Amino acid sequence: MRYLIRFSYDGTNFFGYQKQVNKRTVQGELENVLSRISKTKVLVSASGRTDALVHAINQYAHFDLNIHISCNDLKRALNSLLPKDIYIKSVSNVLDSFHARFDVLKKEYIYKINLGEFDPFSRNYIYQYNQELDIVKMVQAIEYFKGKHNFKSFTKSNNDIVDYEREIYDATIRVENHIMTISFIGNGFLRYMVRNMVGTLISVGEGKTEPDEILEIFKCEDRTKAKKTAPANGLYLKNVYYALN
């Protein structure tokens, strides 16, 4: 039987989502616990991977179990055995044809920046920029990311990728109590893409880059033309959307 889980995790003490040899990962923890419950090896397929230090508010993954267990009982068992930096929010049954990665319609990421004084308590969850930024120019600049673009300039160079085109449906910036939240909703995201877009927006906010320069960065299709990659700890996978949501 195929199950779909919705879960959150604090990425601070993980080497990312994807399983790695001799490293603590979210996928590794999930598969270890599920294998204990089913008494056989279980493989978990998520909507996508997140890098080290990146957090998830709502991540999704599917897996197959060879035992019958209710969704409520499975949720209870998982949360009793998983470490406290992973929490299963819901468990549901899905068709055997459902795939957590390939059936994604869109994803939403948010990035948090502290523009006020340094906060040691939130340093693992909000990028401590601790300076003012030109928010008006950043709001102008983020508009250039909307729509379909070739994002080769905003991702890690990878010879295996043949299609760098992605579509950003919506992108916003809001500030509340000195905390800036940048949101992107799109049909898919390349590795480091959000962090590179945020880094470029910060450069705009610093007055080092003009908003319309983003168009030229797109045209160059060259990672060296975009600005610095924003730190991982401010990034969250906020939600994943499927036809069944």
Alpha-helix runs per DSSP H in the chain: 26-38, 71-81, 135-142, 193-205, 213-220
Q: Which helix (H) or strand (E) holds 7?
A: strand 2-9
Whether 64 is a known active-site residue: answer no
Of 28, 2, 8, give the one whose Cα is nearest residue 17.
Answer: 28
Q: Tell me the one-letter amino acid at 139.
A: V
Strands 86-93 and 165-176: unpaired
Looking only at Cα atoms, what is the longest distance across the chain?
59
**Angstrom distances, CA of residue 234 to CA of 48, 73, 88, 231:** 18, 34, 22, 7
Q: Which of 51, 64, 85, 119 is catalytic?
A: 51
Q: 127 pairs with which residues across the strands? A: 113
* Rounded (10°) CA dihedral 132, 133, 136, 137: 160
Active site positions, annotated? 51
